[in-house]
Amino acid sequence: MSDLRVRPADPSDIDAVLRFWREAAEGTSISDDPGGVARLVSRDPEALLLAERDGVLTGTVIAGFDGWRCHLYRLAVHPDHRRRGVGSALLAAAEERFVRLGGRRGDAMVLERNETGQHAWRAAGYAPQEQWRRWVKHLDG
């Protein structure tokens, strides 16, 4: 098996990332569009991490840090590459980034219906916080 490479995304990766998420990610977000991903990459060039094997995109994670909290989004591994260390490598890179920036706790949002994702997060040492409920409001702008 060839080496896995984890690197930050750059603007030239945006279209490939969006295609990848349609195939490998569970669910969609309001900001899963070229403008949303471009803003992420522009604002925090090291937040969107890509895993590649032989030049092929095999996984993603967004490791967002706002100076206070460490948030993980879009951990996605292509179905043909699951259970081969891609998710673990992405999370290790994200956690290293957080520690380097002074973060102390990572959190992830996982869809309740995403059993595969829940298993992966538990295997990585994360646990649900049942006492919290996410509240959202879409902003017009």
Contact 117, 110 (CB under 8 A): yes
Tell me whether residue 49 is in a domain.
yes
**Residue-by-residue pLDDT tens, the chain, 141 positions:** 469 999 999 999 999 999 999 999 876 777 889 999 999 999 999 999 999 999 999 999 999 999 999 999 999 999 999 999 999 999 999 999 999 999 999 999 888 888 888 999 999 999 999 888 888 888 876
Distance CA 63, CA 49 (A): 7
pLDDT score recorded for residue 141: 62
Tell me whether residue 128 is in a domain.
no
DSSP single-letter state for residue 62? E
Domain count, the chain: 1
Distance CA 12, CA 81 (A): 23
Tell me whether residue 79 is in a domain.
yes
Instruction: Give residue 78's domain range.
Output: 4-123
- For the full predicted model, state whether its pTM sits above 0.95: no
pLDDT score recorded for residue 31: 81
pLDDT score recorded for residue 27: 67
Tell me whether residue 100 is in a domain.
yes
pLDDT score recorded for residue 26: 76
Tell me whether residue 131 is in a domain.
no
**End-to-end Cα, the chain, rounded Å:** 46
Tell me whether residue 140 is in a domain.
no
At 21, list the tokens: 């998420």
Tell me whether residue 53 is in a domain.
yes
- The CATH number of the domain holding residue 63 is 3.40.630.30
Distance CA 49, CA 51 (A): 7
